[in-house]
């Protein structure tokens, strides 16, 4: 299960408009349930940091962003996933 999913451009827009934590929380609440305010603050801080990391033309705008991916059959989560194609527009699974 993925809590938040968007293109890089959509993610960047949500961060610029200061909406990212609200969007993640709304989806999290719908799919998982309530969370602590400290988690919301953490999303705000870390997504602003990831905005800086992604703010380069070297990462295409149509790249995929997934946040809070719950690993099946476990209680573990992956915070942030970046996906996309290689230079030849091919999926690369390594």
Q: What is the pLDDT of residue 23?
A: 96
CA distances from 85 to 23, 59, 61, 63, 70 (A): 26, 10, 12, 8, 23
Q: Where are the domains of the chain?
A: 2-83
Structure tokens at 34: 């309530």
Alpha carbon 64 to its chain centroid, in Å, reads 8
Q: What is the pLDDT of residues 56-83, one digit of tens each?
A: 999 999 999 999 998 889 889 899 999 9
CA distances from 93 to 10, 40, 54, 62 (A): 24, 32, 21, 18
Please tell me the pTM assigned to this model: 0.86
Confidence label for 86 from pLDDT (cuts 50, 70 and 90): confident
Return the beta strands (E) in the chain as ranges: 2-7, 64-70, 77-83
Q: What is the pLDDT of residues 20-59, one digit of tens each?
A: 999 999 999 999 888 889 988 999 999 999 999 999 999 9
Q: State the Cα–Cα distance between residues 1 and 72, nearest whole angstrom.
A: 8
């Amino acid at each position: 299960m993925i809590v938040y999913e968007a293109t890089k451009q959509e993610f960047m827009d949500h961060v610029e408009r200061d909406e990212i934590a609200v969007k993640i929380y709304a989806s999290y609440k719908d799919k998982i349930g309530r969370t602590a305010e400290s988690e919301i603050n953490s999303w705000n801080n870390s997504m602003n940091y990831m905005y800086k990391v992604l703010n380069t033309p070297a990462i295409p705008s149509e790249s995929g962003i997934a946040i809070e991916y719950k690993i099946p059959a476990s209680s573990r989560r992956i915070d942030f996933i970046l996906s996309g194609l290689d230079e030849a527009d091919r999926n690369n699974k390594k």
